Amino acid sequence: MYKASVITVSDRAFSGIYEDKSGPAVTELLKNQGFEIVSVLIIPDEKNEIKKALLAQCEQGVHLIVTTGGTGFAPRDITPEATKEIIEREAPGIVEYMRQKSMEITPRGILSRGIAGLRNNSLIINLPGSPKGAVENLSFILPHLTHGLDMLNGKTE
C-alpha cells in the first residue's frame, strides 16, 4: 500500500471564506484506490508555503503527493512554479495525458498549467482546483500510477 498526501492550495479555503471541496474529493478517490492517506492540508497561495508543505511530505516518505488548485492563469496561481523548484526530475507525460483527456471534456482543459515530477521516492502531481476537474484528472492517470510508483521505489525489474 502506498502513502498519499493531498494539499489544497487556496487563499480562500485557507482563510475559511469557502469550504474546500476538491481536497476531500481527491482524498476519497485515493482511499477507494487503496492509498493510505497520511496528510490532508489546506495552505495559502504562497510559494514558500507550497514548497515547505511539499518538502515536508517528501521528507516523510510519502509516495504520492497531489495538490489541488493554483494551476490556472490568476496572478496568485503559482503551484506549478513552487513545485518546479523542489522536484528533481519532471514527469511530463502525466500532465500531458491529463490535459489531453480533460480537453475531450472541456476545451478549458488547455488552460491548466499543472506539472508532475519526482523528488526522492515521491511523485508530485498538480491537479486543477475544481472538485470535478481534480477528480477527473486524477481518475485518468490512477490506473497507471502504481506501476510508476513501483519503479520509483525499486519494486520492479
Integer CA distances (angstroms), 49 to 5, 34, 83, in order: 15, 28, 11
pLDDT of 145 reads 94
pTM of the predicted model as reported, rounded to 2 decimal places: 0.96
Three-state DSSP state, 28: helix
On the question of pLDDT at 36 being above 70, the answer is yes
On the question of pLDDT at 108 being above 70, the answer is yes
**Residue 79, burial from CB neighbour count under 10 angstroms (0-12, 13-18, 19+):** buried
Select the more confidently predicted residue: 155 or 43.
Answer: 43
Model confidence at 156, pLDDT cuts 50, 70, 90, reads confident
Burial per residue of 57-66, b for 16 or more beta-carbon CB atoms within 10 angstroms, e otherwise:
bbeeebbbbb
Average pLDDT over residues 48-68: 98
CB 22 within 8 A of CB 30: no
Pairing of strands 116-119, 64-68: unpaired
pLDDT of 157 reads 64
**Domains along the chain with CATH numbers:** 3-152 (3.40.980.10)
As a whole number of angstroms, the distance between CA 70 and CA 81 comes to 10
